Structure 1
């Protein structure tokens, strides 16, 4: 594995530097442009918690464990939501190691995010060395993903946890075993992800379990056709997904669509018309949601389009989305060979994960800016699939390689 991963080692420092700069840039953006926001509130609330530590150690530990504490202290907190409070606790712990300095804490969070990205990149490169360039780009250098998963934001820890879970799943899928500390890390990351971004977990866990079960079944069914594999996968996935609906009140079948629709209406009401996607026929009806799903999937991946951008940040996002759209279209020819691909189950599972998460996040979070942050949970996986089979991506990589060789005098 060390020999295989030596090939991506030159990208370690550039990727680390990019994550650190992204985290600092995110902080500067909010300090000088957006003003009061999540990242700054997490910092301020973390400082309050650290002040409590020096006044009342028992009260501090009690709050970390159960959110309980002195009523006077609780009233000073801006956030009451459990997920936000969980991030405040993490912020407090990191700030204790950062001299209560926002910028040092930002570097810590960025490094955590980077290390998880580096880990999954190394692992994928070990198992899929022919896809090295796509791996490096998708998990280390996608601009929006690096930017929105760095610094003092929930996405830094959430994406790191997601990458750790997926890395251990790949080990299980390929080798069939994990050592004890990998199981421990997986459990910790599942706990972190549940408390920060439970909807990521609600999709990735059924996908992981389904893929492992289907792989085991297929070993005893060697003549299974591709269409039979897909139907088997979908049947098992739907079964596990029904079980997942019991893990969080927002997933209960009786209120799932209501949560999506009410979130949609809230974003529409609180956002400028040009900053949101409008789904005219969305309602608390499975038929309408199903019919809107393809467009929601496309919207989650590729909007805002160039003609929809109304400010500098949207324009930057739209340019990136246009590149992704071209990349995706150029990779569609790869679907013809999917049935014969040795890792077709993994590819199909990844597509389903991206599709489900994109659809429901887009419908419930139609604000362009918010969705660009939330989609970091599926965008690297989707871009990895498209870049892996895109001739345009390979052409660009070959062109860059040729330019590099000319600049260094054709040295390897």
Structure 2
């Protein structure tokens, strides 16, 4: 399967990078399983696998997202001979194929950025780890990267190809059933991208159309999940926030607490949440030993963001504003909402994986071009 994907999936990246990235992904899935089996002794990945190989029905759980994931998992476990480890290899491979596709699509449209694109999507340890193995995040991250890459491809080529539409549609269905908030963020990303593109066109007609496009995207987000519309978001955030805080020890807690079910309380905590979503856990935070991986990554990310801000002010480089605004809005939305609802480092670093590849990529562009003396847009 890996040979077929390498042979038939269009690629602008070298062969050795494909095999290196694939090996890292497969290894990450195995390590994830070992951590849960040998260290924790339990966890979602073990429960999902046990239910997938069981003949009993899971409909009584009243957990549609889990049920959907297990329905995807079941045929793979049969193909793997009911082996957790072979099942993990399959899921890691499927996830890698999606990330390889995304990296190549972005690299094709932005050739000068192919190396930082490859590193951001394929080589950063926590991103590789939390998108591998028998977990929902491996499927959700894979679906998101396909949706984002296909949207960027349509934007760069100024037309929507049938294949891009198919990829976007299938990815949206998967996200709707597994990670509602990622679908909402995707709709906002696409809506802003379309709206800002149309707004830049001359004539009042296009500006009106752009406003309607954005309004439509925002309206659609209100019907994805009853707990994630404007009226219920404060309640949802407060309930999740309090539940996570009660289960967290002092070392893992983040100092973000939503005491009331109100937008005022939510807005008051946004600065702390944005800081945590972008930069924490930092090297100043206390974490278990393996938390140093995330702390070092966030230190590198902090340096890249600071350098990007300085270079942007100093050099005033040309910027693709529609894509930049849409990307920053989508990333910032997740960087705010996730720490508000999950004020625990262990949970947050897992969920941050959804937007970290794109944050690393955006933050690396100006420093990379500065040190390599590249001046293309």
With the length of structure 1 as denominator, give the TM-score of the two structures. Answer: 0.81
Report the CA distance between 1:238 and its aligned residue.
Answer: 6.1
Report the CA distance between 1:146 and its aligned residue.
Answer: 0.4
CA distances 1:233-280 after superposition (whole Å, capped 9, x unpaired) = 899646632431222111232211110011000000111122111225
Where do 1:382-397 residues align within 5 Å?
A: 382-390=359-367
Q: Give the stretch that moved more between structures: 277-286 or 318-327.
A: 277-286
Do structure 1's residue 86 and structure 2's residue 68 form an aligned pair? yes
| Partners of 1:121 and 1:135 within 8 A in 2 | yes
1:253 to 230, 235, 244: 230
Q: Which position in structure 2 is the counterpart of 1:59?
A: none
How many angstroms apart in 2 are the aligned matches of 1:235 and 1:277?
39
Q: Which position in structure 1 is the counterpart of 2:282?
A: 305
Q: Which position in structure 1 is the counterpart of 2:309?
A: 332
- Judged with a 3 Å threshold, the aligned counterparts in structure 2 of structure 1 residues 143 and 265 are, in CA distance, closer, same or farther, namely same
| Partners of 1:168 and 1:178 within 8 A in 2 | no
**Aligned alpha-carbon RMSD (Å):** 2.8
- SS of residue paired to 1:275: coil
1:294 to 271, 283, 296: 271
Which structure 2 residue ranges, 5 or more long, are not aligned? Answer: 1-7
Q: Give the stretch that moved more between structures: 197-206 or 322-331.
A: 322-331
CA distances 1:277-334 after superposition (whole Å, capped 9, x unpaired) = 1225654332342343232112012212223223212233212221211222111124
- Judged with a 3 Å threshold, the aligned counterparts in structure 2 of structure 1 residues 394 and 29 are, in CA distance, closer, same or farther, namely farther
- Judged with a 3 Å threshold, the aligned counterparts in structure 2 of structure 1 residues 338 and 287 are, in CA distance, closer, same or farther, namely farther
Do structure 1's residue 30 and structure 2's residue 36 form an aligned pair? yes
With the length of structure 2 as denominator, give the TM-score of the two structures. Answer: 0.88
How many angstroms apart in 2 are the aligned matches of 1:18 and 1:132?
19
| Partners of 2:194 and 2:213 within 8 A in 1 | no
Where do 1:162-241 residues align within 5 Å?
A: 162-221=144-203, 237=214, 240-241=217-218
Q: Which position in structure 2 is the counterpart of 1:110?
A: 92
Which structure 1 residue ranges, 5 or more long, are not aligned? Answer: 53-62, 69-73, 399-412
Q: Alignment length, in residue pairs? A: 364
- SS of residue paired to 2:87: helix
- SS of residue paired to 2:165: helix
Q: Give the stretch that moved more between structures: 301-310 or 124-133.
A: 301-310
- SS of residue paired to 2:251: helix
| Partners of 1:19 and 1:150 within 8 A in 2 | yes
- SS of residue paired to 2:115: helix
Report the CA distance between 1:100 and its aligned residue.
Answer: 0.9
How many angstroms apart in 2 are the aligned matches of 1:337 and 1:167?
30
- Judged with a 3 Å threshold, the aligned counterparts in structure 2 of structure 1 residues 236 and 360 are, in CA distance, closer, same or farther, namely farther
- SS of residue paired to 1:99: coil
CA distances 1:326-350 after superposition (whole Å, capped 9, x unpaired) = 2221111244389863512101111
Q: Which position in structure 1 is the counterpart of 2:336?
A: 359
How many angstroms apart in 2 are the aligned matches of 1:188 and 1:312?
39
Report the CA distance between 1:180 and its aligned residue.
Answer: 3.1
- SS of residue paired to 2:284: helix
How many angstroms apart in 2 are the aligned matches of 1:33 and 1:10?
33
Q: Which has the larger radius of gyration?
A: 1
Q: Give the stretch that moved more between structures: 142-151 or 89-98.
A: 89-98
| Partners of 1:27 and 1:39 within 8 A in 2 | yes
How many angstroms apart in 1 are the aligned matches of 2:44 and 2:258?
31
How many angstroms apart in 1 are the aligned matches of 2:312 and 2:271?
17
| Partners of 1:304 and 1:321 within 8 A in 2 | yes
- SS of residue paired to 1:310: coil
